[in-house]
Structure 1
Amino acid sequence: MGAPIIDDELWALIGPLLPPPKPRRKKYPGRLSVPNRAALNGILFVFKTGIRWRDLSTKLRFGSGPTCWRRLRDWQRAGVWSALHELLLAKLRKAGELDFSRAAVDSSSVRAVGNGRKTGPNPTDRSRPGSKHHILVDANGVPISAILTGANRNDVTQLLPLIDAVPPLRGVRGPPLRKPKVIYADRGYDSEPHRQRLRARGIEPVIARRRTEHGSGLGKVRCVVERTHAWRHNFRRLRIRFKRRADIHEAFLKLGCALVCWNSFRRTEQSF
């Protein structure tokens, strides 16, 4: 299998965001550290294929599995993936491909191999351990914010946190965008107190109500968030949670959102 070498354009965006390497000791400096680009290739290989870290081969121009794992952990702590996501959102807005006049929210559950932080009994999988990805997208399906919780958390509990997690959307002159005008959601978000809180923030809630007939008509505007879930599930590490550590899975979740934004931006460039 060929190595998924990161292209030069994306590397030009990620490289400046990475923290500088630790200075080497003058006496007994040890082996040279793995280049950041090689480690990032290893991270992407694991992210896309789902293989175990220890099976990562250095023959494919990657670092070792433990080295790539440590870089992923350290870069998550440094906020690299969040900064990359915010940067790509600004580029999409500058290109006119970000429509935040309305947004849609939804969640998807994934099985967790073992327990750990932010896992819980999945009511849709015989109460096996699982996690839930909560996501907010714009009118085009671009992921704006994402949150990881246990699979037993109700969707409505993450509605306001998803809005609070929206980064400042820059890219054009004027103040950055921080909230959509309209929120679309399914019956899992039906809550009158949450509707009132959204209106207090200047956001119009369009949420299907429980115990009503199907056919609310929201599917034609909410389909974009379902499509975004399908895009993210192309990355095998987001289909199943293998690690007990929540910060590692959250790093993959943020990286997945950033790569979806990057793919959207590349499609925009190719259309011109």
Structure 2
Amino acid sequence: MGDEVVTDGLWTRLEPLIPMRERRFRYPGRHRSDDRAALEGILYVVRTGIGWNQLPTGLFGVSGATCWRRLSEWSEAGVWQQLHEGVLNELRAAGRLELSRVLVDASHVRALKRGDHVGPSPVDRGRPGSKHHLITDAAGTPLAVTLTGGNRNDVTQLIPLVDALPVIRSRRGRPWRRPAYLYADRGYDHDKYRRLLRARGITPVIARRSTGHGSGLGKLRWPVERGFAWLHAFKRLRTRYERRAEIHQALLSLACSVICLRKLILN
């Protein structure tokens, strides 16, 4: 029942963002498949992790190929990012975002096909892999997620990840643009990036490599691990099957939108 409520809420927010297609009068071609059915098919693939060619056409009325094309088409139009930002705006208006500080971390995923943002993973015996770089609010709600090769150092993606933060608006007050504090583990310990954060008005709270465990920082930054657990509960994201990076990024943005919408509707 919860998934049905989320799907209904997702469609209500997605439909106005879908670009209108010009109708061809001379050669109209076949009737275009229903967008709502395509969305439900995409969600089914993301949740279950099945291949696009395994999508049960009789269940949704659209083929896996159609769902893939619709996912790509809406990705090119920027629909998925707009959807995520719109739900974040609603969360802030409802007072359900904790934006005084943000948390960052990265996670490896195996890439079964070559493509953009794929590299030899140092934690998987050099097999092809990618990384999900996630930044969340203090409660683990995903604010932005980026994709790189599995051989990229976490700290090199810190500033691009911060720059990927959306402007989050509300009914009252100024739009939120930057956090006051950023929390990260030892993988982000580099004075150069501390200076870059301070230049953006952000106070870095990053563990030092030379210090022992038990500093207490983990008590504050553990929700980003929960954010990854929520993200990778979508089975299609646990392993990267898509050769094109923008397709996998679209799936990441869609999953973030669903996570945020669950927090808004079901909590």
TM value normalised by structure 1: 0.94
Distance, in Å, in 1 between the alignment partners of 2:16 and 2:240 is 29
2:16 match: 16
2:193 match: 194
CA drift at 1:4: 6.6
1:104 maps to amino acid: L
CA drift at 1:6: 6.2
Further displaced range: 133-142 or 166-175: 166-175
- Are 2:45 and 1:79 equivalent residues in the alignment? no
Q: Which runs of 5+ in 1 are unaligned?
A: none
8 Å contact from structure 2 (residues 6, 262) kept in 1: no
CA drift at 1:28: 4.4
2:210 match: 211
Distance, in Å, in 1 between the alignment partners of 2:93 and 2:230 is 23
1:211-261 Cα deviation digits (max 9, x unpaired): 321112111111100000000111111100011111111111111111111
Distance, in Å, in 2 between the alignment partners of 1:119 and 1:26 is 43
Distance, in Å, in 2 between the alignment partners of 1:18 and 1:186 is 39
User: What secondary structure, in the 3-state scheme, does the structure 2 residue paired with 1:7 have?
Assistant: helix
Q: RMSD value over aligned CA atoms?
A: 1.5
CA drift at 1:29: 2.6
8 Å contact from structure 2 (residues 110, 128) kept in 1: yes
User: What secondary structure, in the 3-state scheme, does the structure 1 residue paired with 2:143 have?
Assistant: strand
1:230 match: 229
Listed as ranges, the matches of 1:111-150 within 5 Å are 111-150=110-149
8 Å contact from structure 1 (residues 104, 136) kept in 2: yes
Q: CA, structure 1 residues 60+22, in 2 after alignment: closer, same or farther (shift >3 Å)?
A: farther
8 Å contact from structure 1 (residues 135, 146) kept in 2: yes
1:30-51 Cα deviation digits (max 9, x unpaired): 3211010011111111111111
1:263 match: 262
Q: CA, structure 1 residues 41+5, in 2 after alignment: closer, same or farther (shift >3 Å)?
A: farther
2:67 maps to amino acid: C
1:172 match: 171
CA drift at 1:78: 0.5
1:9 maps to amino acid: G
1:181 match: 180
2:142 maps to amino acid: P
Distance, in Å, in 1 between the alignment partners of 2:238 and 2:4 is 19
Distance, in Å, in 2 between the alignment partners of 1:103 and 1:110 is 23
CA drift at 1:5: 8.7
Q: CA, structure 1 residues 202+27, in 2 after alignment: closer, same or farther (shift >3 Å)?
A: closer
Q: Which runs of 5+ in 2 are unaligned?
A: none
Q: CA, structure 1 residues 62+124, in 2 after alignment: closer, same or farther (shift >3 Å)?
A: farther
User: What secondary structure, in the 3-state scheme, does the structure 1 residue paired with 2:212 have?
Assistant: coil
Further displaced range: 211-220 or 230-239: 211-220
1:94-118 Cα deviation digits (max 9, x unpaired): 0001111001000001000021110
User: What secondary structure, in the 3-state scheme, does the structure 1 residue paired with 2:172 have?
Assistant: coil
Distance, in Å, in 1 between the alignment partners of 2:7 and 2:195 is 46
2:20 maps to amino acid: P
Listed as ranges, the matches of 1:66-105 within 5 Å are 66-105=65-104
CA drift at 1:7: 3.5
CA drift at 1:175: 2.3
Distance, in Å, in 2 between the alignment partners of 1:62 and 1:105 is 40
User: What secondary structure, in the 3-state scheme, does the structure 2 residue paired with 1:168 have?
Assistant: coil
1:132-167 Cα deviation digits (max 9, x unpaired): 000100011111111100011011011111111111
CA drift at 1:58: 1.7
Distance, in Å, in 1 between the alignment partners of 2:4 and 2:233 is 14
8 Å contact from structure 1 (residues 4, 41) kept in 2: no
Residue identity over aligned pairs, in percent, reads 55
CA drift at 1:192: 0.4
- Are 2:209 and 1:242 equivalent residues in the alignment? no
Distance, in Å, in 1 between the alignment partners of 2:182 and 2:6 is 35
